């Protein structure tokens, strides 16, 4: 053993035993000392080290590095570094190159993929590569120490995934959000979990429904939309639910055949089914299928990730369930609370309406004064006082219901808090004096205004003073308002010298419905909600309420209320405040007086609420209320005030009545059947005739927010039941007065605007009395006619004297007609002014005033000088005439230019066509000329002669086909139309199409299951279909799929600027998977000789033949394409009812037989063709007579028609054409057979052959002989 290899473990032995002469390093004995020393250091180290040496990057490594090599060891020993680690080269190639250039590289936790254990594995390494200098001073090799960090990096990544997932799921409050957050979070960790499938249990279907997926598409073999509970494939979801544990599923590669899954091209081999288990759940509601990476080894650590994932999701699901339960419980409590609020609201309405009807009449009775007997008055007082108490209780209950529902919102406004509080407290002065108490009010000015809800503050102060009065039997009640020491708040105190409150009762003092047992006070009455309501109202306004008390000494309630508007939300206040308070102060005072021993000494309500005096106030009021008693009561109050009242029972009736007879004010209840008050209000505001009508809402819904809601909806006022008679009448009359003032102001403004408009338009008003022929006129009227001072008398005759004589009769006639018919009098005429004798144009518009019998009494009208307008009109008329002439000339010039452009395009197309034809025919003529020259050579062998003759014949056939394609494009080809089934024709062509396309093109036919007959030339149809197929084959370059489909359609789509045509058509579609057609070529594909193929690979006539055949057959061709994806050609032909197909005549198979003296009249204007035809017929044994035109032929027939057996005529001839000649011969000599021939005929293309036999040029002798023989053997006219 070599000394430098001693003590190196297994690798030292391998290095010693390896035949290094077969490697680029050569035998160990030849190794340089620098390599020996480096290898010795490498083998002596326990750290993984690789030595890369020599130009071939040969590896020598130690025992530590062997572990990193995996299955590559021991092959990697002596192998090139770039060979062993080729899969990791994207990560290590750069550092390797830099080291060879002399630079040391250090990479930490570098991600790379290694093929070291039979598969591509994701790994992480920290390594360096340093150059090693050899004896020459150059770089002999590289020193490469490595440590693998895969386990650490994967552990950190998986821990981060679970941490992020747990953090995200903390906000999941339902199952869909839990699923969405899981998919969203784990999508960033797809190197560990390449795909996720969430399946949700469907109890109705007894299976699992795919709820969400990530990393793989839905509805694949691996991700079906539904999995039955009993199924075990693709995933054992039912088994996982039963066992309530994570299941590992292996060997799943087949599920991903052709399906992209995860970040790697290779599919997962393992997945885990994780049931999300919630304790006490009989059925697992959710299952997660999570895939494992195909590039990571499956071990216990990796399995642990899925166990932790399942536990985290199960815990999150349990939390979601708990939150759902709490939410349902909260919703149930909210529903109960809402039901309670609704009950309070409804019961409030039910109380308020009868209370209105109770308290209103009681007030009226008490207002009668001494006219009512004393005992009767006492009973009325008792009823009135208890009605007020009931109203106060209803208001308090409703206030609480609004607070609990969160609908009680303070409406802030700046107030003088000391003055307001002192004013409220003063209401109790008379009650305190009657009770022998002193009422002390002590207020100090505040540094700034307090922003409070006035209505709420009134309830706070009145409740506190009422409470103090109730429990103070002697002494005094003090109300004080002062700023706090820092000036930021107001301190409001209500103190008394009453019985006091025990210390143990103070904590519960502000609880609703709590009452102190056996209190020593003036009364045991009370609902227990007064102080609780005070506490709520103070807090709603940003304040605090405290209480101090001592039994036998007294009680002090202290309110701390912030000053300024810093605590106030915007807006500060609403319009509701302008109508004042809704608090019934007298109810609190009356209740307090009722606690006194001598309650009969109460102040008579008639003194404080006297009946309003009946004032005369005219106005039409519409009253809507579903309560008959309320309607009668309110109507009686309004009648007493002198108003005209119309009553209805609901909002719909009110709306109808308002539209029929618009009122000056609408007074409506809110809660009514059919259409409630708010619905009526909306309808009124949307009606143009009614939208300005004042509307007052009557409602039992008390509170500032109810009033604000009504005003926000568009009401002019909101009156809360119960209301006093004075308040009702006052509100109604004030709004009527306000509306009247608005109408007057609007009328005055309208008159002012009208006056301005009349002055601005220099319009003169006039009024003509027809009976007296006198007028009332504005000053402007006379000025228009040239007067500087008002004319004393002006009548119809005066006016006519100013009208020009040419216009006078027409004007007078229109006036007479307007007066007789009672219609408007509108006209324009010319007048002559008095002052300057100028002729001016005027316009007059007027309306009549009629009497009861329809006779015209007066005419009211306007007159305006429109001379300037007329001049403009005449100028515009002249300009329009000039413009019309210019436009006509411009259109003519444009038409000429367009015609020149079309001619230029035609010439360009003709030049292209001519060039193409010349090119192809020159090629064909070259073959014919060359073959003829070779045939003239003496002693030419028979075989070569036959070959040259065949070349000539084949070239002639090619020329004939080229001519046919040109004729088809030009639509000048004589077709042989007949009815045939397109599906049958396509089926007969399939074998030929497959042969044309070759073995690498798949041909698919999709034929209609019903008959698809068309009336066209079947041979031309076959040619057109083959041309399209060949075009598709060339586009696919021999590889792809060709689909031919036949179907019926009911519309020919709009094409090439033509509109769509409804009707029955057959659509023949040819689709390919080729490269498609470039957009710049799409418009030219049907041009003759246009081709994108190489020279010699196509004539450019195939698609032009298809286009010509389609147009000539009454159809169209449509092409749709996407460059790079393929093209679809659709041929549309008119569909017909099936009819028998005419038999085809095979012309090529005619044997050469003699004419046997048959006399043929040949009609041909071309000398060469005529000479050839007659000579050929005579060679075949026919007798031939040649006529140069139709007229000469008719003369020959006239002389001796019986001498001829058949007529053989060209179609295109000067004068009478061949078809016209044939018809004439058929008329004169019906028994004489006729054969037509043509190489180009628009006549036949447009009109058909009319049953005559047709021989296409160029024709062979065989074809000529056969068609003449058939014509002579078939009776004339039978074809």
Per domain, the residue ranges of the chain are: 3-148, 167-323, 416-606, 617-752, 761-865, 973-1134, 1159-1273
Under CATH, domain 167-323 is a member of which superfamily? GAF domain (3.30.450.40)
* Partners of 996 in beta bridges: none
905-964 residue pLDDT tens:
455 545 555 555 555 566 666 667 766 776 777 777 877 778 777 777 777 776 766 666
CB-based contact 510:559 (threshold 8 Å): no
Q: Which pLDDT does position 673 carry in this prediction?
A: 80
Q: What is the mean pLDDT of the chain?
A: 82
Choose the CATH number for 973-1134 among 3.40.50.10420, 1.10.3720.10, 3.30.565.10, 3.10.180.10: 3.30.565.10
Q: Which pLDDT does position 1071 carry in this prediction?
A: 93
For the domain bounded by 617-752, which CATH number is listed? Answer: 3.40.50.2300
User: Rounded to whole angstroms, how far apart are CA atoms 372 and 370?
Assistant: 5
Q: What percent of the chain has pLDDT over 70?
A: 83
Q: Which pLDDT does position 345 carry in this prediction?
A: 64
User: Rounded to whole angstroms, how far apart are CA atoms 1200 and 1112?
Assistant: 40
State the architecture of 761-865 in CATH terms: 2-Layer Sandwich (3.30)
Phi, psi of 867 (to 5 degrees): -60, -45
Lowest-confidence pick of 491-500, 667-676, 1041-1050? 667-676
CB-based contact 209:199 (threshold 8 Å): yes
Q: Which pLDDT does position 1018 carry in this prediction?
A: 82
User: Residue 805: pLDDT band by 50, 70, 90 thresholds?
Assistant: very high
What does the pLDDT average to over 842-867?
90
Nearest alpha-carbon partner for 557 in 538, 570, 580: 538
Q: Which pLDDT does position 513 carry in this prediction?
A: 64
Query: What angle in degrees, to the nearest 10, is found between the helix axes of 677-686 and 651-660?
Result: 30
If DSSP codes are grouped into helix, strand and coil, which group holds residue 275? Answer: strand
Run of H or E residues at 1209: strand 1206-1210
Burial class (CB in 10 A: 0-12, 13-18, 19+), 613: exposed
Taking 90 as the threshold, does the pLDDT of residue 738 lie above it? no
Query: Which residues have CB under 8 Å from 332's CB, separation 6+?
Result: none
Q: Do the domains spanning 416-606 and 1159-1273 agree at the CATH topology level?
A: no
User: Residue 528: pLDDT band by 50, 70, 90 thresholds?
Assistant: low
Taking 50 as the threshold, does the pLDDT of residue 614 lie above it? no
Most confident of 393-402, 701-710, 1205-1214, 1241-1250: 1205-1214
113 Rama sector, left if φ>0, alpha if ψ -120 to 50, beta otherwise: beta
Lowest-confidence pick of 1-10, 85-94, 701-710, 1173-1182? 701-710
CB-based contact 1131:1024 (threshold 8 Å): yes
User: Rounded to whole angstroms, how far apart are CA atoms 475 and 159?
Assistant: 77
What does the pLDDT average to over 691-708?
76
Q: Which CATH class is domain 416-606?
A: alpha beta
Q: Is the whole-model pTM more than 0.85?
A: no
Handedness of CA 322, 328, 332, 334 (dihedral sign): positive
Nearest alpha-carbon partner for 530 in 520, 516, 548, 544: 516
Report the first-to-last Cα separation within the chain, whole angstroms.
111
Cis omega (within 30 of 0) for bond into 571? yes
Q: Which pLDDT does position 927 carry in this prediction?
A: 63
197-251 residue pLDDT tens:
999 999 887 899 999 999 999 999 999 999 998 898 899 999 999 888 999 999 9
Lowest-confidence pick of 322-331, 866-875, 884-893, 1093-1102? 1093-1102
Q: Which pLDDT does position 694 carry in this prediction?
A: 93
Lowest-confidence pick of 91-100, 341-350, 1074-1083? 341-350
Nearest alpha-carbon partner for 376 in 367, 363, 386, 366: 366
Query: Do the strands 1126-1134 and 1061-1072 form a parallel or antiparallel pair, or are they unpaired?
Result: antiparallel
* Partners of 1185 in beta bridges: 1161
Taking 60 as the threshold, does the pLDDT of residue 851 lie above it? yes
Q: Which pLDDT does position 251 carry in this prediction?
A: 93
Q: Which pLDDT does position 69 carry in this prediction?
A: 87
User: Residue 613: pLDDT band by 50, 70, 90 thresholds?
Assistant: very low
Third-level CATH fold of 1159-1273: Rossmann fold (3.40.50)
Taking 90 as the threshold, does the pLDDT of residue 1068 lie above it? yes
What does the pLDDT average to over 716-731?
83
Residue with tokens 């190639």: 93
What is each CA distance from 656 to 635, 716, 908, in whole angstroms? 19, 20, 78
Nearest alpha-carbon partner for 77 in 65, 90, 89: 65
CB-based contact 543:461 (threshold 8 Å): no
Query: Which residues have CB under 8 Å from 860's CB, separation 6+?
Result: 765, 766, 767, 846, 847, 848, 849
Taking 90 as the threshold, does the pLDDT of residue 332 lie above it? no
1014 Rama sector, left if φ>0, alpha if ψ -120 to 50, beta otherwise: beta
Nearest alpha-carbon partner for 1206 in 1231, 1223, 1180: 1231
User: Rounded to whole angstroms, how far apart are CA atoms 923 and 920?
Assistant: 5
What does the pLDDT average to over 812-830?
92
Lowest-confidence pick of 101-105, 115-119, 160-164, 304-308? 115-119
User: Rounded to whole angstroms, how far apart are CA atoms 524 and 509?
Assistant: 16
Q: Which pLDDT does position 1093 carry in this prediction?
A: 59
DSSP assignment of 975-1027, as one string? --EEEEEHHHHHHHHHHHHHHHH-TTEEEEEE--SS--EEEEEHHHHHHHHHH
Q: Which pLDDT does position 599 carry in this prediction?
A: 47
Q: Which pLDDT does position 1124 carry in this prediction?
A: 79
Q: Which pLDDT does position 756 carry in this prediction?
A: 75
User: Rounded to whole angstroms, how far apart are CA atoms 338 and 93?
Assistant: 73
User: Residue 753: pLDDT band by 50, 70, 90 thresholds?
Assistant: confident
If DSSP codes are grouped into helix, strand and coil, which group holds residue 847? Answer: strand
838-849 residue pLDDT tens:
999 999 999 999
What tokens does 308 get? 């932790």
Taking 60 as the threshold, does the pLDDT of residue 26 lie above it? yes
Under CATH, domain 3-148 is a member of which superfamily? PAS domain (3.30.450.20)
412-457 residue pLDDT tens:
889 999 999 999 888 888 889 888 899 999 999 999 989 988 888 9
138-194 residue pLDDT tens:
899 999 999 889 999 999 999 999 999 999 998 898 899 999 999 999 999 999 999
Nearest alpha-carbon partner for 517 in 526, 146, 600, 669: 526
Q: Angle at Cα 458 formed by Cα 454 and Cα 461, nearest 5°?
A: 135
Q: Which pLDDT does position 1150 carry in this prediction?
A: 41
CB-based contact 294:266 (threshold 8 Å): yes
Q: Which pLDDT does position 646 carry in this prediction?
A: 92
Taking 60 as the threshold, does the pLDDT of residue 1038 lie above it? yes
DSSP assignment of 449-505, as one string? -EEE-HHHHHHHHHHHHHHHHHH--SSEEEEEEEE-TTSSEEEEEEEE-S----GGG
Strand segments (E) across 612-746:
620-624, 644-648, 665-669, 695-699, 717-720
């Amino acid at each position: 053993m070599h000394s430098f290899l001693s003590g190196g473990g297994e690798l030292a032995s391998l290095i010693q035993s390896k035949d290094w002469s077969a490697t680029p390093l050569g035998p160990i004995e030849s190794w340089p000392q620098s390599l020996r020393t480096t290898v010795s250091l490498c083998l002596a180290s326990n750290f993984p080290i690789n030595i890369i040496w020599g130009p071939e990057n040969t590896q020598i490594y130690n025992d530590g590095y062997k572990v990193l090599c995996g299955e590559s060891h021991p092959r990697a020993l002596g192998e090139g570094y770039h060979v062993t680690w080729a899969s990791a080269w994207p990560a290590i190639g750069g550092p390797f190159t830099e080291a060879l250039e002399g630079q040391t590289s250090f990479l930490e936790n570098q991600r790379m993929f290694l093929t070291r254990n039979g598969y591509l594995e994701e790994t992480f390494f920290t390594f360096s590569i340093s150059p090693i200098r050899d004896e020459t001073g150059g770089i002999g090799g590289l020193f490469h120490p490595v440590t693998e960090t895969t386990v650490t990096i994967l552990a950190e990544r998986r821990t981060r995934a679970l941490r992020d997932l747990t953090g995200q799921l903390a906000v999941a409050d339902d199952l869909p959000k839990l699923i969405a957050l899981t998919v969203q979070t784990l999508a960033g960790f797809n190197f560990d979990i390449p795909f996720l499938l969430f399946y949700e249990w469907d109890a109705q279907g007894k299976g699992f429904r795919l709820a969400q997926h990530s990393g793989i598409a839905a509805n694949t073999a691996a991700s079906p939309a539904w999995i039955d509970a009993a199924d075990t494939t693709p995933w054992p979801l039912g088994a996982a639910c039963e066992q309530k544990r994570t299941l590992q599923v292996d060997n799943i590669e087949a599920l991903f055949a052709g399906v992209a899954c995860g970040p790697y091209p290779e599919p997962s081999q393992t997945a885990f089914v994780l049931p999300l288990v919630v304790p006490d759940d009989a059925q697992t509601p959710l299952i997660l299928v999570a895939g494992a990476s195909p590039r990571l080894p499956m071990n216990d650590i990796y399995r642990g990730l899925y166990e932790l994932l399942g536990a985290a999701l199960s815990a999150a699901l349990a939390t979601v369930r708990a939150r759902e339960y709490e939410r349902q419980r909260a919703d149930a409590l909210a529903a109960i609370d809402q039901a309670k609020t609704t009950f309070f609201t409804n019961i409030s309405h039910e109380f308020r309406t009868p209370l209105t009807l109770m308290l209103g009449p009681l007030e009226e009775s008490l207002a009668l004064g001494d006219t009512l007997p004393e005992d009767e008055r006492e009973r009325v007082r008792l009823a009135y006082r208890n009605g007020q108490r009931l109203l106060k209780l209803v208001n308090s209950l409703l206030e609480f219901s609004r607070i609990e529902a969160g609908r009680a919102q303070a409406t802030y406004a700046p107030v003088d808090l000391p003055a307001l509080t002192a004013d409220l407290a003063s209401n109790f002065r008379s009650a305190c004096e009657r009770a022998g108490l002193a009422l002390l009010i002590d207020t100090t000015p505040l540094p700034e205004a307090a922003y409070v809800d006035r209505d709420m503050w009134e309830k706070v102060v009145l409740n506190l003073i009422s409470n103090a009065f109730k429990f103070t039997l002697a002494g005094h009640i003090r109300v004080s308002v002062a700023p706090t020491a820092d000036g930021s708040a107001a301190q409001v105190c209500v103190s008394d010298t009453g019985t006091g409150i025990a210390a143990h009762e103070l904590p519960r003092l502000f609880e609703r419905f709590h009452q102190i047992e056996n209190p020593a006070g003036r009364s045991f009455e009370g609902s227990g909600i007064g102080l609780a309501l005070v506490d709520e109202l103070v807090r709603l306004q940003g304040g605090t309420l405290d209480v101090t008390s001592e039994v036998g000494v007294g009680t002090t309630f202290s309110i701390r209320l912030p000053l300024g508007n810093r605590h106030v939300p915007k807006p500060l206040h609403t319009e509701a405040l302008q109508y004042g308070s809704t608090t019934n102060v007298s109810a609190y005072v009356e209740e307090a007086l009722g606690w006194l021993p001598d309650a009969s000494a109460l102040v008579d309500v008639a003194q404080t609420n006297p009946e309003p005096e009946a004032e005369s106030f005219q106005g039409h009021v519409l009253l809507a209320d579903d309560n008959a008693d309320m309607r009668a009561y309110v109507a009686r109050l309004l009648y007493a005030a002198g108003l005209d009242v119309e009553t209805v029972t609901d909002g719909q009736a009110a709306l109808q009545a308002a539209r029929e007879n618009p009122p000056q004010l609408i007074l409506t209840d809110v809660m009514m059947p059919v259409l409630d008050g708010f619905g009526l209000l909306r309808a009124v505001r949307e009606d143009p005739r009614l939208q300005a009508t004042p509307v007052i809402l009557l409602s039992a819904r008390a509170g500032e927010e109810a009033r604000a809601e009504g005003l926000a909806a568009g009401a002019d006022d909101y009156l809360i039941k119960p209301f006093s008679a004075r308040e009702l009448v006052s509100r109604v009359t004030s709004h009527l007065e306000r509306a009247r003032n608005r109408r007057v102001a609007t009328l005055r403004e309208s008159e002012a605007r009208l006056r301005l408009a009349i002055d601005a338009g220099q319009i003169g008003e006039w009024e003509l009395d027809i009976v007296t022929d006198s007028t009332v006129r504005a000053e402007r009227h006379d000025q228009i006619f040239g007067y500087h001072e008002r004319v004393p008398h002006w009548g119809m005759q005066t006016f006519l004297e100013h009208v020009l004589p040419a216009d006078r009769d027409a004007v007078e006639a229109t006036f007479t007609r307007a007066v007789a018919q009672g219609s408007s009098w509108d006209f324009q005429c010319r007048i002559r002014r008095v002052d300057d004798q100028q002729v001016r144009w005027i316009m007059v518009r007027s309306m009549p005033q009629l009497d009861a019998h329809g006779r015209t009494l007066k005419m009211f009208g306007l007159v305006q000088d429109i001379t300037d307008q007329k001049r403009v009109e005449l100028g515009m008329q002249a300009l329009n005439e000039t413009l019309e002439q210019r436009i006509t000339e411009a259109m003519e010039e444009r038409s000429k230019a367009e015609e020149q452009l079309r001619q230029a395009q035609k010439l360009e197309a003709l030049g292209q066509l001519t060039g193409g034809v010349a090119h192809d025919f020159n090629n064909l003529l070259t073959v014919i000329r060359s073959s003829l020259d070779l045939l003239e050579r003496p002693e030419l062998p028979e075989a070569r002669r036959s070959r040259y003759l065949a070349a000539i014949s084949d070239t002639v056939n090619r020329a004939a086909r080229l001519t046919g394609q040109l004729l088809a494009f030009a639509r000048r080809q004589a077709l042989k139309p007949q009815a045939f089934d397109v599906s049958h024709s396509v089926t007969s062509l399939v074998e030929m199409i497959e042969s044309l396309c070759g073995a690498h093109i798949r041909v698919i036919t999709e034929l209609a299951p019903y008959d698809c007959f068309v009336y066209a030339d079947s041979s031309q149809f076959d040619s057109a279909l083959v041309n399209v197929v060949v075009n598709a084959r060339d586009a696919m370059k021999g590889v792809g799929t060709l689909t031919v489909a036949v179907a019926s359609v009911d519309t020919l789509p709009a094409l090439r600027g033509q509109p769509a045509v409804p009707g029955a058509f057959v659509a023949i579609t040819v689709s390919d998977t080729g490269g498609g057609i470039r957009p710049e070529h799409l418009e030219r594909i049907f041009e003759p000789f246009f081709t994108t193929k190489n020279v010699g690979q196509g004539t450019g006539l195939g698609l032009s033949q298809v286009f010509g055949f389609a147009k000539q057959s009454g159809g169209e061709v449509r092409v749709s394409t996407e460059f790079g994806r393929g093209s679809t050609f659709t041929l549309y032909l008119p569909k017909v009812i099936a009819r028998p197909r005419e038999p085809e005549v095979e012309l090529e198979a005619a044997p050469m037989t003699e004419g046997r003296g048959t006399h043929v009249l040949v009609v041909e204007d071309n000398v060469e063709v005529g000479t050839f035809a007659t000579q050929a017929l005579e060679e075949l044994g026919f007798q031939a007579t040649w006529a140069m035109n139709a007229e000469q032929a008719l003369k020959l027939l006239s002389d001796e028609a019986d001498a001829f057996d058949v007529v053989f005529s060209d179609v295109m001839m000067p004068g009478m054409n061949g078809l016209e000649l044939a018809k004439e011969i058929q008329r004169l000599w019906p028994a004489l057979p006729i054969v037509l021939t043509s190489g180009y005929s628009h006549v036949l293309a447009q009109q058909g052959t009319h049953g005559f036999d047709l021989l296409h040029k160029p024709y062979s002798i065989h074809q000529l002989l056969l068609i003449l023989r058939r014509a002579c053997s078939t009776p004339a006219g039978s074809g």
